Amino acid sequence: MMSLLIIAGLLALLFGGIPVGLALTAMATALMWFKGLPLAGLPQEFLASVNSFTMLAVPVFLLTSQILLRSGVAKVLFDAVQAWVGGMRGGVAVAAILSCGLFAAISGSSVAVAAMIGTVAIPEMLRRGYEKRFVMGTLAAGATLGILIPPSIPLIIYAEVAHVSTAKMFLAGVGPGVLLIGMFLCWCFIRSFTGGAPPTEQATISWDDRRRLSLEAFPIVAIAGVMIGGIYSGAFTPTESASVGLCLTMLYIYGMRGGIPLKDLTDSIRSAGLTTANLLLIIAGANIFGKAITLYRIPYEISGWITANIETTGAFIIVVTVVLILLGLALEGVAMILIVLPVLMPALKMHGIDPIWFGIYFVIMIELALLSPPVGMNLFVIQSVAKSNLKDVMLGTLPYALIMLLAVVIIWYFPSIVLYLTRI
């Protein structure tokens, strides 16, 4: 009964328009006060929860993505990819998915990828005669790769909450990321040959132009390679990787592309700072909320209920999937991790579920939430970039949402897709 009252109170605050971080903090404070505990230690606990070397990567990745967004390098990469695949039927859609995947390896943010690639790819696809809903859905779904392909901000936060290695979480994201890219590309080909793309594309670009465009885009690919390769080789930590990526990005933008206006740089810093503050508030609030519900033994009660009523691991995953789909309609991804994961961790141990596998599964469900109204951010970014209506974007993303659910089924039956690289 107490569990239901706490959940109802939290949902009432959230649906009442209270920011997630403040709602979590207020609920945690109230729970501790009702227990008669002194509240003087809450500020220290609040600050300690974000005092983490790993969490330093979050503002750095956000700043990198903001600078990339304002520098115009998305067109350089998109043109280079399109030079190789743009001549085939549906080639521009293929180029959009591949470009999203490549930028995901630098930014760690799906919203940034949606804005960067969407700004370039949507006008080009519409100009060539691609079906509008197909265009909207491809860009909104392709951008979700930004939080699965490492480095990824949600994977960093999940690793911190679940107390698992961030480097292993990044390794685990490679296989599912490649899987989703492949599945998205398959749908692009199918839809292109069933009316989604024009029957003929523009003439194939010359080899000299391909070579020139590829050389222009090479520094972007090299930055991603250094960041990911450095983590996997053990040369530097994920936090150091974020800093290296930012430094290389600044060298590329100011050394090879003439830089960006000072106003754009200051706007990038301000935007990254505001987003970081919002995320850290959510993380700190979720931390003390997690401690508060532990005092009431809620995680153990829920885990006990799950153990008593859900006998198989498969049924557990199905129930969690339904819960996450519903929560994705109201919460953004980081809040989903911070609110749900502490409650589910005891149940994971009881069912023998690998926390690294569960983290990748969780992030795919967050990707699905990014395409779910009313808070699916990718929907609104693409709607804004394309100056379209929300209905077209939502209908366009529906096939990709089903593909994501299919990907969950595949990694369930073939967990080595997730875990193979972590065991080498």
| Residue 241, pLDDT score | 87
| 28-34 CB contacts, 8 Å cutoff, 24+ apart | 28/285, 28/288, 28/289, 28/291, 28/292, 29/288, 31/6, 31/289, 31/292, 31/293, 31/295, 31/296, 32/288, 32/292, 32/295
Q: How confident is the model at residue 374 (pLDDT cuts 50, 70, 90)?
A: low
- For residues 308 and 300, is the Cβ–Cβ distance under 8 A? no
- For residues 276 and 62, is the Cβ–Cβ distance under 8 A? yes
pLDDT tops 80 at residue 298: no
- For residues 301 and 344, is the Cβ–Cβ distance under 8 A? no
* DSSP result, 27-71: HHHHHHHHTT--STTHHHHHHHTT--TGGGHHHHHHHHHHHHHHH
Convert the pLDDT of each residue in 176-192 to its tens digit.
999 999 999 999 999 99
Mean pLDDT for the stretch of residues 296-302: 70
pLDDT tops 80 at residue 303: no
Q: Peptide bond preceding 151: is omega within 30 degrees of 0, i.e. cis?
A: yes
Q: How confident is the model at residue 258 (pLDDT cuts 50, 70, 90)?
A: confident
| Residue 164, pLDDT score | 92
pLDDT tops 90 at residue 376: no
pLDDT tops 90 at residue 227: no
| Residue 299, pLDDT score | 66
Mean pLDDT for the stretch of residues 125-145: 91
Q: How confident is the model at residue 284 (pLDDT cuts 50, 70, 90)?
A: confident
The Cα–Cα gap between 114 and 119 comes to 8
Mean pLDDT for the stretch of residues 378-382: 86
Tokens of 205: 């670009």
Convert the pLDDT of each residue in 1-26 to its tens digit.
566 777 777 777 777 778 777 888 88
SS3 357: helix
Q: How confident is the model at residue 270 (pLDDT cuts 50, 70, 90)?
A: very high
Per the model's pLDDT, the better-predicted residue between 244 and 231 turns out to be: 244
Convert the pLDDT of each residue in 326-352 to its tens digit.
888 767 788 888 888 888 888 888 888
Convert the pLDDT of each residue in 38-97 to its tens digit.
776 677 777 777 777 777 888 888 888 888 878 878 888 888 888 888 778 888 899 999
Q: What percentage of the chain has pLDDT greater than the value 90?
A: 26
Q: What percentage of the chain has pLDDT greater than the value 70?
A: 95
- For residues 188 and 93, is the Cβ–Cβ distance under 8 A? yes
The domain segmentation of the chain, as residue ranges, is: 52-423
| Residue 307, pLDDT score | 66
Average per-residue pLDDT in the chain? 85
The Cα–Cα gap between 159 and 156 comes to 5
Convert the pLDDT of each residue in 403-422 to its tens digit.
999 999 999 999 999 999 88
pTM for the whole thing?
Answer: 0.85
Mean pLDDT for the stretch of residues 167-179: 92
pLDDT tops 90 at residue 397: yes
pLDDT tops 90 at residue 210: no
